[in-house]
Amino acid sequence: MIKFSKQQLKIPKMMRPVYLVTGGMSEFRRAFPEKRTEELCVEALTMAAEMINMTPAELKSYIHTCYYGHFADHFGDQLLGESVIHDRLGLDPLGNIGVKTGGATGGSTLWEAVKAVASGYSDCALALGWERMDEVPTDEGNHLISCAADKDWETPLGHIYTGYYAVMAQKYWQVYGKSEDSFRKTMAEIAVKNRGYACHNPFAHGGMRITVEDVLKSPVIADPLRALDACLMSVGSACCIVADEKTAFKMCKNPLLVYVAAGTHTLRPADRRDMEIPLLPNETKNTYKDLDKRFPGGELYPGFTGFLAARMACYYAYRMAGVYDPCEDLDLVELHDAFTISDIQSYEDVGIRPYGEGRTYVESGDCYVTNPNTGKPGKLPANPSGGLIGCMHAVGATGLMQVCELMLQIWGRHAEVHGDAKRWKSFGKTKPKDWKDLQVKGAKRGLAISHAGVGSHVTATIVVDPKHQLKGGKA
Amino acid sequence: MSCAHEQNRGKVKVDNNRYIVKGDFSVIYPNTPIFNKQGKLCGVTNPRDMTYIHSYGAEAPFFEGLSKGSLKGTKCENPACEYKGSVYIPFRIYCPDCLKKMKIVDLTAAAKKTARIYTYMVCERSGAFNTLDKPIKFINVKIEGTATILMSYLYLGEPSMGMRVVPIFRTKNPTYTITDLSWVPEGTPQSKLPKGFSF
C-alpha cells in the first residue's frame, strides 16, 4: 500500500487568475494528402483570431510565449516540428517549447501555457497542438503508437497499443460490468451518442447515424471491444489563447476563467501498486467501504480498472476551481472517450459517479444533451462535440479541441460556429438538413479530460464563466 | 531488403565501453512521387531501413536470465526504506521509493507455483514488425509475494481470470527480448511447448 505526502497532495496555487481568451480548430480528417501540417495550424490560429474579431496579426501581437503539443515526431519524420510550425506561424523570436504526453498532449500543452501566465512570466500565451497520423500505413502507425509503451517490456508484445490498454478493459468488463449484456449495450450507447453528435459538428470526421445493434455487430478488435467502440485516428490542429485578467479583457469582452491540473501514473500498468483511493471533495472513506464486496475482483486500487492519473488531476483541479460535486457544479464535460469502456471508467475517476457505478451515468440519460428517458435536458451532457469517437483524435490537438468546444458552449456560440453552412461548405461538406443545435442551455462551467493511453498522463481543465465562479474557486 | 543487405546486416559488439559496429546500418531506397488522380504532385515517399542500437544496462540480467530458463525480479533491501522487502517484476534496477539499487531475486520457482492470470485480452490485430502468432493472448500475471503484475502472453489455451499458469522460456535461439518469456496453463506437457521453449 503506497502513500503520498502532504506536500505531494498540496492543491496547486496560481499566482494570478488565468483566462481563456479564444480558441480555434482546423477541420479534422483521417488524412490530408494535399495539405501540410502548417496549413492546418494556420487555420486553427486564424479561427481563434476571428472568434474575437481580430486579424491573426493582431492576435499574434499579444502572444508572449508559445507551447506546442505534438506527440509523435516519428509519424511525421520531423524532429523539432514545433520549430517548423512556430516559424510558419511567424512567431519568432518568441520563446517556444514542445510538449509530449501521449494522448494527453493537448491538455498538457494548455497546462504549460496556463502556468506561464499564472506565474507572471507571460501575460498572454499560445497553446497549439496538432498531429499528423496519415503519413504511414495503419499497421506502421500501430507500431509507432506502441512505441509509447515500454519498448523493452511491452512494445515487442504485438506492437499494438490497443492490446496493452485492452487488458484493463477486460478487467473492468468482468469485475464492474460483470460481463453483462446490459453493460455491453450501455457501452454501445456511448458510441451511438458520440458518433451521432458528430453528425452535427462540421469539424468532425467520424459522424455516423448508427444503432446499438450496429456497434454490437461491428468487427471485434479485442473482445469485448469492437471497431465502433474505438476512437478515430485523425489529422488536424487546435489552439487556445490564455492571458492574465487585464490582458484578457483587453483582447475580448467575455474571457473565461481556466484552471488546469495534471496527474500521472505508471507508463507500464504492470508497475501499478495497491493504494487507498484518493478521495474527491464529495467522497468519504465510507463511499468505498464495501466496494470489493459489491464487485468481487476489485480489491486492488487502482488495479487495472481505475485511472489514478485522472483521479489525481481532478483531485487537484476540483479544489482549485471550487468544484464539490461535478454533477451539480458543472454544466457539461468533454471526456477522453478513446474507447467506450474507458469512457465509463473515466466517469468514476473524475467523480461523475462513484467507482463501480459509471454505467448509470449513461443509463440514467444524464450524459445526453437531451435525456432520452425524459425528453428534458441531460443533467451533465458529455461530448456534444462527438468526442474522440465521433469528432477526432489528432493526439496533440485533442485536449485543445475539447477546451475550444467548452469555450463555444459557455459563450453560447455553439450554433453560430457548428451551424454555419459556410463553414460546412468550406470543409467540402453539406450542412445536414436535420442539423441539431447541441448547445447546452445556460452552460457556465465545463470540464475537459485529456488522457494518455493506459493512463500515464491526464489533465483536467475546468473552464468557468467568471460571473459564475464557484465559491472556493481560487486563482 | 536485398539479399546482399540481408547478409551484411549491421551487427554490434562492445569493446572498452565503445560500440563497435560492422555491416549495413542505413539502407536507402529511391523515393517515389505521390500524385492525385488529376496528376497533381502531392508529395513523395521517403523509404529507408535503419537498425537501432539499444543498451539494456543493468536490466540485462533479466533478459539474459530468460535465455537460461530463469525469471528474475528485484527486491528492495534498504533497511531505511519504508517499502523494504517489496519485490518487483517487471524487474526494476532501483527501488521506486528510496532509489537504492535493488537486489536481483529469482522468481522462477514462485512463478511456477503461484502465478495466476490477473487479467487478459485476446487481440486479433498487431502492428508492423510483430513477431508473435495471432491472435495474441495478452495476459497480466500476478506472482505471489510481488508488488506488481507482469504483462506477457499465453502460448497455449484460452486465458481466464485466476487461471494458474507457468512460465516457459525460449532457451534455444533466444532473441534476448521479452518475447523469450511466455506462459502455458499449469499441467501442460513439454511436448506441447513451442519450438525452442522449455520450462
CB-based contact B178 A270, cutoff 8 Å: no
d(CA A146, CA A40): 26
**Same domain membership, residue B74 and residue B41:** no
d(CA A397, CA A394): 5
**Same domain membership, residue B70 and residue B45:** no
**Same domain membership, residue B100 and residue B46:** no
**Same domain membership, residue B66 and residue B40:** no
Give the domain-ending residue among B35, B50, B65.
B50
Closest partner residue to A171 (CB to CB) among B40, B83, B119 is B119
The x, y and z cell numbers of residue A256, run together, are 473565461
Cα angle value A52/A429/A139 (rounded, 5°): 100
Q: What is the DSSP letter of B178?
A: G
Considering only CA atoms, give the Rg of chain A: 21
d(CA B5, CA B11): 12
**Same domain membership, residue B64 and residue B38:** no
Range of the structural domain that residue B78 is part of: 57-198
Q: Output the pLDDT for position A76.
A: 83
pLDDT at B2 exceeding the cut of 70: no
Cβ(A431)–Cβ(A407) below 8 Å: no
**Of A409, A71, A442, A457, nearest in space to A260 by CA:** A457
pLDDT < 50: residue spans in chain A: none
Average pLDDT value for chain B:
95
User: Which residues in chain B touch residue A268, judged by CB atoms under 8 angstroms apart?
Assistant: 90, 151
User: Which residues in chain B touch residue A2, judged by CB atoms under 8 angstroms apart?
Assistant: 83, 97
Give the domain-ending residue among B50, B68, B86.
B50
**Same domain membership, residue B85 and residue B126:** yes
**Same domain membership, residue B63 and residue B109:** yes
- From B16's Cα to the closest Cα of chain A, the distance in A is 25
Calculate the alpha carbon distances from B177 to A138, A337, B87, B183 in Å.
Answer: 25, 33, 21, 15
Instruction: Choose the mutation target among A152, A225, A265 for the interface with B, i.e. most B CBs under 10 Å.
Output: A152
CB-based contact B148 A273, cutoff 8 Å: yes
Q: Output the pLDDT for position A73.
A: 86
Give the domain-ending residue among B18, B35, B50.
B50
Is B19 within 8 Å of chain A by CB? Answer: no
| Three-class DSSP category at A114 | helix
Q: Which residue of A has its CA nearest to B97?
A: A2
**Same domain membership, residue B82 and residue B44:** no
Q: Output the pLDDT for position B6.
A: 74
**Same domain membership, residue B170 and residue B97:** yes
**Same domain membership, residue B72 and residue B151:** yes
pLDDT band (50, 70, 90) for residue B114: very high
- From A139's Cα to the closest Cα of chain B, the distance in A is 5
**Same domain membership, residue B113 and residue B181:** yes
Q: A254-267, pLDDT tens digit by residue? A: 999 999 999 999 99
Q: What is the DSSP letter of A142?
A: H
Q: Output the pLDDT for position B3.
A: 66
Burial of residue A93 (number of CB atoms within 10 Å: 0-12, 13-18, 19+): exposed
The full set of domains in chain A, from first to last, is 1-466 (3.40.47.10)
Domain count, chain B: 2
**Same domain membership, residue B107 and residue B38:** no
Q: B19-50, pLDDT tens digit by residue? A: 999 999 999 899 999 999 999 999 999 999 98
Is B148 within 8 Å of chain A by CB? Answer: yes
- Beta-bridge partners for A24: A239
Q: Output the pLDDT for position B153.
A: 97
**The domain spanning residue B119 has which CATH number?**
2.40.50.140
CB-based contact A142 B56, cutoff 8 Å: no
Is A222 within 8 Å of chain B by CB? Answer: yes
CB-based contact B127 A167, cutoff 8 Å: no
What share of chain B in percent tops pLDDT 70? 97
d(CA A91, CA A60): 7
